[in-house]
Amino acid sequence: MAENKNWLSQKGHDINDYDYKELGIPDDIIGSDSFNRVMLDKVHAENMAGYISKGMSEKEARHKADKMKSMALKAAKAAGLKF
């Protein structure tokens, strides 16, 4: 198997990239350099859907989801995690 790319694994947790397959991550993404970007995009889309289901407009939901994604990227960079 290829090296685990997920951020939890990089932080020393016993989490394998294949553990994310059940979340809909395709086999060609698992272990690839784009793994964390795909995860960020997936969480962004799920956040938007959740915010909209709670009554936010699409514009408000996108703004909040974009902000959360930006915060996640900054935190990952500050922690020295690889993308």
In a domain, 1, yes or no: no
Rounded to whole angstroms, the Cα distance separating 10 from 75 reads: 14
| Predicted confidence (pLDDT) per residue in 3-60, tens digit | 899 999 999 999 999 999 998 899 999 999 999 999 999 999 999 999 999 999 999 9
Total structural domains within the chain:
1
Rounded to whole angstroms, the Cα distance separating 69 from 39 reads: 10
Domain of 44, in residue numbers? 7-78
Helix, coil or strand: residue 13: coil
In a domain, 83, yes or no: no
Q: Which two tokens stand for residue 81?
A: 């995690």
In a domain, 59, yes or no: yes
| Predicted confidence (pLDDT) per residue in 58-83, tens digit | 999 999 999 999 999 999 999 999 88
Query: Please, which residues have CB within 8 angstroms of residue 3's CB and are 6 or more apart in sequence?
Result: 31
pLDDT value of residue 3: 86
